[in-house]
Amino acid sequence: MGRKNICNFGEHYMLDCYGGNYERLNDKDLIMLALVELPHQLGMTRLSDPYVLEAQDNDIKDPGGWSGFVVIAESHISIHTFPARKFVSIDVYTCKNGLNREFIKKYFTGVFGIKKIEENFVIRGTEYPVENIC
């Protein structure tokens, strides 16, 4: 039989974004700012400063871009931009429930000038011990 309650450990929201603005997707400082602003706006606690690195072209499918990551008390947020492809891949993973997905989608649409978004949402830890989470 299935689980009797709807408790879970957390939520993982993944965005694959197309048609973004080249200059914004190629702006290390903007990526850094997003990794500072978004946790605050979602009521999350940063455990570190964001870390943003330039990834070079690998002469295969990756034309290079930026990868940014911030550790939050609730888990992490990552951003991987591919300016030449006008593409960005974003993960917001949190042990909190009730993630405001519409706010996150609008936030990144504004930050990077996104035209189209594919969304994936996964409920994580559905068999995590229910003590103290329900």
Q: What is the DSSP letter of 9?
A: S
Catalytic residue among 75, 76, 78, 89: 75
Is residue 75 annotated as part of the catalytic site, yes or no? yes
Structure tokens that stand for 101 in this block: 């997905």
Catalytic residue chosen out of the listed positions 7, 78, 80, 134:
80
12: left (phi over 0), alpha (psi -120 to 50) or beta: beta
- Is 95 an active-site residue? yes
Angstrom distance (rounded) from CA 112 to CA 118: 15
Active-site position among 7, 12, 67, 95: 95
- 80 carries an active-site annotation: yes
Alpha-carbon distance of 85 to 89, in angstroms, equals 11
Cα(91)–Cα(101) distance, rounded to whole angstroms?
11
Catalytic sites, residue numbers = 75, 80, 95
